[in-house]
Structure 1
Amino acid sequence: MLRGLALLGCAAVLLVLPAAAAHAAGEVTCPPPLIICEVEVEDPGDPGSPPDDPPATQVGDGQCVTFRGNVVPCWRAGAGWFNASDSCYYQVLEPQPPGDDAVWEGNYPDGAIYDVSCAEPLLAPGTNGGWTWLPSPPPGFGGDPAQLARRAVDQMALEGPAIRTPLADGEAGTVGIPLWLWTEQSATTWGPNTATASVPGLSVTATAQARWIDWELGDGSRMRCDGPGTPYIAGHVESPTCDHVYTASSAGRPDDAYIVTGTTTWDVTWLGGGLSGSLEVTRSASTSVRIGELQVLGTT
């Protein structure tokens, strides 16, 4: 059964269609706040009569063919993915309607609501497209550019900071003396890092660049350092970009050490499918540092 759309302006008109014009893609609901006339058509079909037109298919290089033989893009910005079974485009509606909306047909939260637009309308003009509930993505659905951007980010294998301090292995820092903190810089620990994710008909390229590191110092202190920090410069006391002064020894803590955790925030920009966007991701890493009291030796 199809619940189609007929825009009426300011008047309500009953539109009657012959059964042969029905579209078997499912029930479609017009989004508010349009003034609409809902048309319900039931078409049992004729299983003994094959369709006059060849079925839609995909021809490669991001091009699909409709049931009438016309070549259309498999992905279209603002419309979504081409469904070869009905020559319509589908994209997940954002945001999804409330769970008590009739368009869910009582199925919420299963499945999703899709916004449908058809390349070759099968109904009378003005009665095709709208919202429909589906239990799973339709044939040919490859996600959206934002989803591909997240897939590209996964390919980058971004990491938290490769934490460095001036302390050699087994060496302890000193209470009251600034401890420099920084990260070794690479494509995976600081960037830039670029990757491309693709499906037939759509490619999205994402570029990630780290911006700052949030530090948890193990003594209850927290701080944010913009940039990767500065590697230790011999003879300098304070870091020009990122350091922390401990006020108490780490003695008595597990392994007599403070656990230091750095969380890097990455800015990601992406471009593809005629669209662009951005997202933010974080990655964390930890290390331990031992801090001791300054020992003063005297003579008598």
Structure 2
Amino acid sequence: MAIPQPASGDPMWAGKDASKGRLVVMICGVGGPGGGYPGDARVAYVSNGAEAPVVPQVSPAELARQAIDQMGLSAPDIRLAPPADSPYGATIGFPVWMWSARSEATTGPVIRTATAGTVSVTAIAKLARITWSMGDGATKACAGPGTPFTEDRAGLASPDCGHVYLTKASSGAFAIAATGHWEISWSGGGMSDSEAMDLTSSARLPVREIRTLNSGEDGHE
């Protein structure tokens, strides 16, 4: 859209010579003409005989959203030792291991790029930490996905993400929630920004108590 010739001293022209060019208003709309992004408008001076600059029809922020939507990020894929589906579950006073099964969607990093015309935006998502709510009032913040349990470590505590129950649940099992905290950054089209995303999954872990009986030499308690 061209702007009419100015009155003397019009500040919109910022000292430009109206006889040698024109001002045009450029409006960026998401998704092409008639799109829903009306706020990114600016005025540009175009010399006589020159073509007006090409107006990008998708904002970098919208391309960033498209790239993030392509990531398919997931909540932690909960793994426990003892496992949640075991007949007895965990035992009071004994270590429980927590971790997330590793995949691009659950532990990252994930990189995706969205492009419209000559503008490309790349987004990178990284799992910063996982917060575990253990159901007994305790929470555990683990810096990463945690260390998978192996049988040769039976009886040992997890080196980076574990818990010990001191009581059993009144319902027989504790409700566990694992929240993955993602940090997402993007750049392209002359812009950059960052955001956070939290995704939560859940499981239930039975917790039992083992009672020992001491017998005297006569065989009675």
1:197-276 to 2 correspondences below 5 Å = 197-233=114-150, 234-250=153-169, 252-253=170-171, 256-276=172-192
The correspondence of residues 99-248 of structure 1 with structure 2, limited to 5 A, is: 113-118=39-44, 120=46, 141-142=57-58, 144-168=59-83, 169-170=85-86, 171-233=88-150, 234-248=153-167
Q: Quick one: distance in 2 between partners of 1:216 and 1:150?
A: 30
* 1:12-46 deviation line (CA, Å, top 9, x unaligned): xx6399xxxxxxxxxxxxxxxxxx58xxxxxxxxx
Q: Helix, strand or coil: the match of 2:114? A: strand
Shift of 1:192: 1.4
5+ long unaligned stretches in structure 2: 13-21, 30-36, 49-54
Cα deviation for residue 198 of structure 1 reads 2.0
Alignment-mate amino acid for residue 90 of structure 1: I
1:194, distance to aligned residue in structure 2 (A):
1.3
- For the structure 1 residues 201 and 298, does the alpha-carbon distance in structure 2 shift closer, same or farther, using more than 3 Å as the test? same
Residue segments in structure 1 that go unaligned for 5+ positions in a row: 7-13, 18-35, 38-67, 69-85, 93-110, 123-138
TM-score by length of 2: 0.72
Greater RCO, 1 or 2 (C-alpha within 8 Å, sep 6+): 2
CA contact 2:111–2:125 (8 Å) conserved in 1: yes
8 Å Cα contact 1:88/1:119 also seen in 2: no
Counterpart of 2:194 (choices 267, 271, 278) is 278
**Quick one: distance in 2 between partners of 1:121 and 1:218?**
68
1:165 aligns to what SS in structure 2?
Answer: strand
Q: Deviations over 1:33-79 (max 9, x none)?
A: xxx58xxxxxxxxxxxxxxxxxxxxxxxxxxxxxx9xxxxxxxxxxx
What root-mean-square deviation, in Å, do the aligned CA atoms of Structure 1 and Structure 2 show? 3.3
Tell me, in whole angstroms, the C-alpha distance in 2 between the residues paired with 1:197 and 1:206.
9
Kept after mapping to 1: 8 A contact 2:82/2:97: no
1:137-156 deviation line (CA, Å, top 9, x unaligned) = xx9631x2233222211111
Percent identity among equivalent residues?
32
Q: What is the aligned residue count?
A: 190
TM-score normalised to the size of structure 1? 0.55
Which 10-residue stretch deviates more, 225-234 or 266-275? 266-275
2:104 partner amino acid: A
Give the distance between the partners of 1:188 and 1:263, measured in 2 at CA: 14
The separation in 1 between residues aligned to 2:165 and 2:73, in whole angstroms, is 30
Structure 2 residue identity aligned to 1:205: T
Q: In structure 2, how many angstroms separate the alpha carbons of the residues matched to 1:267 and 1:226? A: 13
How many angstroms apart in 2 are the aligned matches of 1:163 and 1:176? 21
- Which whole-Å CA distance do the structure 1 matches of 2:155 and 2:47 have between them? 73
Q: Is the 8 A contact 1:88 1:120 kept in 2?
A: no
Mark the CA change 1:187 to 1:146 in structure 2 (over 3 Å): closer, same or farther.
same
C-alpha displacement of 1:244: 1.3
Amino acid at match of 1:178: P
CA spacing shift, 1:16–1:208, aligned 2, 3 Å: closer
Q: Is the 8 A contact 1:213 1:264 kept in 2?
A: yes
8 A contact 1:214–1:223 mirrored in 2 = yes
What is the distance in 2 between the residues matched to 1:235 and 1:257? 21
